[in-house]
Structure 1
Amino acid sequence: MKISIVPFVLATGVGLASAWAAGAPGGRPAAVPSSFVEVQGATNLSSAAPVERWWTTLKDPELSRLISRALRNNLDLKTAEARLLEARAARRSARADLFPTVDSTVSFSRIRGGYESGNVHVGNGGSGGANAGAIFVAPYETNLFQVGFDASWEIDFFGGRRHELQAATADFQAAEEDRRDVMVSLAAECARNYLELRGAQRRIAITQDNVKLQSDVLHLTEVRAHAGLGTELDVERQREQLASTEASLPSLESAERESIYELSTLTAQAPTALVEELEKSEPLPLAPPEIPVGLPGDLLLRRPDLRRARSQMVAAAARVGQARADLFPKIVLTGAAGRQATGIHQFTLGAGNFFSLGPQLSLPVFNAGRIRANIETQKQRLNESSLAYQNAILNVLREVETSLTSYQHEQERREELVIAEDASKRATQMANELYVRGLADFLSVLDAQRQQLQAEDALAESDTTVLTDLVAIYKSLGGGWQ
């Protein structure tokens, strides 16, 4: 059975209905299945609601402390929080545009005058000529002081400002989801590095145990060779085996340090800050017996990246409306009021009042198609965000199913590796006993040693992979920000 997300999308908030009505040709959103395929028939997966603080299911206090520290101090998270505050300020600015603005003004001007008025006709009563004259006004100077208030208010008849506020609100919500998405990734990254650290430490311990075992065998072969019961070839073969095993230690120790350095950086500390705290080897935590993964439809509410994509679509729809509002007249009420006088001392006695109020109407007449081009631009951006949202849904469903199948198949692989490890240990013991009794050649011992080391190392690696696959499941489900 498939569940269409169209009703959900159309009901998710202001602007989505208008998004489709505004002409987004993105098509029908993807259908969300009613359950995850990998959950069906699985005994260790359930459709119950996922655990929010999923790392607590591993019951590792050190891991919980590291994640809490990272969620408090990580610099990428603080950067996302700064972007959130920026978006909040932008929303306040957009909201302020809905209200009148009032400014106080104080002005001073000095006026200088004096002019010639032009010709004046003077008659003598006869038919004779006339005398042309000019009237002169003496130069003068005066001061003019003004104190008052200017006000303006754009009446949002056609919704341009309201759509601007809707877009800014959606941008703020997208920034909030971006911060939450950083939290999800941060918790998962901390857990992955911590588990890889413990896995590397376990593999180091296994290798060191094999080094000790092979050293003992080397000593035995040397004793047998000196006693004439073995050959120098056996000694050199064992020495080569031992050196090869020891050669694998540096890369494992490097992986151990890299994980510690990464954890230090994630918690906003110097790379070596956690070396003393984490270099002591500890066992890998155990995976919980059952993992609640919820339903696919829950992802639309849980995954911050999906919520962010939805908010971006809302913002794009609002900007289409904002662009369309530019086609219509803008009406601005302007006014001014105050007092004016020719001297500061006259403000209390001889000042005059002034007042003005009136509308200002502006209507686009010719702009070479700029407004309609902007509308088309915003509509295509809406289409892009719609397609991006649909694609994000499909990618999220793929991520969850992929992480679930990886986890399940690694669990199956681990079960076989447990059998292989147990068999390799018995084979090594039997090969050593037969060699000492002269019933097997030394190549059997060498081969058994290699097989044991490979089996133990593969099991340790698989145990780590099971846990990192578990982390990938929780990350794909969007846990860690609530």
Structure 2
Amino acid sequence: MTFSFSPTRAGFLAGRSALAMAVLTALSGCAALAPAPQAVAPGVDVPAAWTQAADLALASASNSVPAAQPGAAAVAPSTAHSASVATAPQPTPLAQWWLRLGDPVLADLVTQALQANTDVRQAQAALRQARAQADVQGAALQPSLDASGSAQRRRASGSTGNSFQAGLDASWEPDLFGRLQSGVDASVADARAAAASLAGAQVSLAAEVALNYITLRSQQERLAIAQRNLASQQETLQLTDWRVQAGLATSLVLEQARANTQQTAAQIPQLQAALAQSRHSLAVLTGQAPGALDALLASERPVPQPPPDLALAIPAETLRQRPDVRVAEERIAAALSRLAQADAARYPSFRLGGSVGLSALTLGALTNGASVAAALLGSVSVPLLDGGAARAQVRVQEATLEQARTHYEATVLTALQEVEDALVALRGDRERLLRLQEAAQAAGNAALLAQHRYRSGLIDFQSLLETQRTLLSTQDGVASTAASVAADHVRLYKALGGGWSPL
């Protein structure tokens, strides 16, 4: 129901009394309304250290968040902007981890991608939209003022007349129960979530650029390995052909040599195609058309390798600096505010308004001698019978809050798993690389010895063929695993939340 009055000067005091009575009546009607249940922010038990980091070099930044005490730590999202700011980490070397790889071409590509990539630009537009929406919600707390004007010319019984009017209308809704402020808080939390989503897009983009770049350099190295082995096998094929012509070998040996050479040659077009696709991917990631980076990436460079002093943040710090965890945290804050907003909607709302109007027969008379009409309006609206819609809306927001809490817990657990998985992969690939490097050195020695002995007729072609295949396989394995080690570092930096500057 709605109570309103429009007092004249004679009835102003009576109208004010009527408004007071209406407010008292509305407040008394709120006594039966039960307050909405309070939501509790979730807490997730987080280990004090990573279980897979025992044999990795740890280098904590001097300006990082203090380490947690031994035992389990509880990480719970903040539900207010001030709390979020208080726990925000300071910038660490993880913010630009790609510089640790020591490759200027990669650094330039990441910088260009962060500026021109379409996903990042979409996230930036979403952030601007969320901030503008917060401004729209904040405007509801302020009084509004509208100006109007009109001009009229009328004819009646052979006579004509003009009339001009100008007026101001003002209104304001006092936010006694916090409904409007809760809407503002929810929009602000959405804006912070959009900012964290932008950071998440930057983290993913930097990692994707680095992974594609590492793949490209690995493909270049593998292509060079295949071409070197092909040249060696072609020499062997020529030597075998001469031996067959001299009657020192059979045609079977010649066909085996030719088959081995063609198998190696068949790998080259495949590697070249994959190499071109990697260049295309990097061009698109940097906001350019495929082929734009062909000249820049044509020259061969080694696979970038990070230094051994790994900058590994502790679990609690990692969760605070990961953008996806911060997004989930802000979603809880927004859900809490919308729950409070739905609860406040069950209480009375008040509105004050007024208008001043000027009326005159000529335009010039509006500023001197115009008739003045003024009105003041106060109203209160109390929800009495709505079929349970208000209470149902509260339950809707409670369910939304529970979803946000569950999503936060899932995000935290996923973050912990990603770091642990990256550490496991890094340790395994490091060990595998050491073994493959030893195998490749031995295979190179064996191939050289086999080549000399075959030329001297001391071994058969089958032994030479086996050593050539082993050499190609081990060298290709070294190149691939070295790229995997570099990629493991990239995935670890991403899992730790690196790639953006925390606010």
Q: How would you bin the TM-score normalised by the shorter chain?
A: 0.7 to 0.9
Q: Is residue 36 from structure 1 mapped to residue 50 from structure 2 by the alignment? A: yes
Q: Distance in 1 between matches of 2:160 and 2:380?
A: 38
Q: Is residue 448 from structure 1 mapped to residue 467 from structure 2 by the alignment? A: yes
Q: Distance in 2 between matches of 1:46 and 1:37?
A: 16
Partner of 1:202: 221
Partner of 2:307: 288
1:428 is aligned, of 439, 444, 447, to 447
1:68 is aligned, of 111, 115, 121, to 111
Question: Aligned-pair distance for 1:23?
Answer: 4.3
Partner of 2:141: 98
Q: Which moved more, 1:336-345 or 1:81-90?
A: 336-345
1:191 is aligned, of 205, 210, 215, to 210
1:22–1:320 contact (8 Å) kept in structure 2: no
- The number of aligned residues is 436
Letter in structure 2 aligned against 1:60: D
Secondary structure of residue in 2 paired with 1:439: coil
Give the number of the structure with larger relative contact order, counting CA–CA contacts within 8 Å between residues 6 or more apart: 2
Unpaired segments ≥5 residues, structure 1: 1-20, 114-137
Please show how residues 17-36 of structure 1 align to structure 2 within 5 Å. Answer: 22-24=37-39, 28-36=42-50
Q: Measured at CA, do residues 354 and 59 of structure 1 come closer, stay the same or move farther in structure 2, by a change above 3 Å?
A: same
Unpaired segments ≥5 residues, structure 2: 1-35, 65-91
Question: Aligned-pair distance for 1:416?
Answer: 0.6
Q: Distance in 2 between matches of 1:465 and 1:345?
A: 83
Q: Is residue 353 from structure 1 mapped to residue 367 from structure 2 by the alignment? A: no
Percent identity, aligned pairs only, is: 37
Question: Aligned-pair distance for 1:438?
Answer: 2.8
Larger gyration radius, structure 1 or structure 2: 1
Letter in structure 1 aligned against 2:474: A
Secondary structure of residue in 1 paired with 2:277: helix
Q: Which moved more, 1:240-249 or 1:216-225?
A: 216-225
Q: Distance in 2 between matches of 1:323 and 1:273?
A: 53
Q: Which moved more, 1:139-148 or 1:394-403?
A: 139-148
Q: Measured at CA, do residues 212 and 349 of structure 1 come closer, stay the same or move farther in structure 2, by a change above 3 Å?
A: closer
Q: Measured at CA, do residues 22 and 397 of structure 1 come closer, stay the same or move farther in structure 2, by a change above 3 Å?
A: farther
1:358-380 CA deviation, whole Å, 9 max, x = no partner?
31111112211111111111111
1:91–1:168 contact (8 Å) kept in structure 2: yes
1:382-403 CA deviation, whole Å, 9 max, x = no partner?
1101110111000000000001
1:39–1:47 contact (8 Å) kept in structure 2: no
Secondary structure of residue in 2 paired with 1:38: coil
Q: Distance in 1 between matches of 2:167 and 2:255?
A: 102
Q: Is residue 276 from structure 1 mapped to residue 295 from structure 2 by the alignment? A: yes
Q: Is residue 147 from structure 1 mapped to residue 166 from structure 2 by the alignment? A: yes
Partner of 1:376: 395
1:110–1:143 contact (8 Å) kept in structure 2: yes
Q: Is residue 259 from structure 1 mapped to residue 302 from structure 2 by the alignment? A: no
| Alpha-carbon RMSD | 2.0
1:195–1:468 contact (8 Å) kept in structure 2: yes
Question: Aligned-pair distance for 1:287?
Answer: 2.6
Partner of 1:122: none
Please show how residues 287-366 of structure 1 align to structure 2 within 5 Å. Answer: 287-366=306-385
Please show how residues 52-63 of structure 1 align to structure 2 within 5 Å. Answer: 52-63=95-106
1:24–1:380 contact (8 Å) kept in structure 2: no
Secondary structure of residue in 1 paired with 2:46: strand
Letter in structure 2 aligned against 1:91: A
Question: Aligned-pair distance for 1:22?
Answer: 4.3
1:306–1:392 contact (8 Å) kept in structure 2: yes
Question: Aligned-pair distance for 1:342?
Answer: 4.0
Secondary structure of residue in 2 paired with 1:277: coil
Q: Is residue 175 from structure 1 mapped to residue 194 from structure 2 by the alignment? A: yes
What is the TM-score of this pair, normalised by structure 1?
0.86
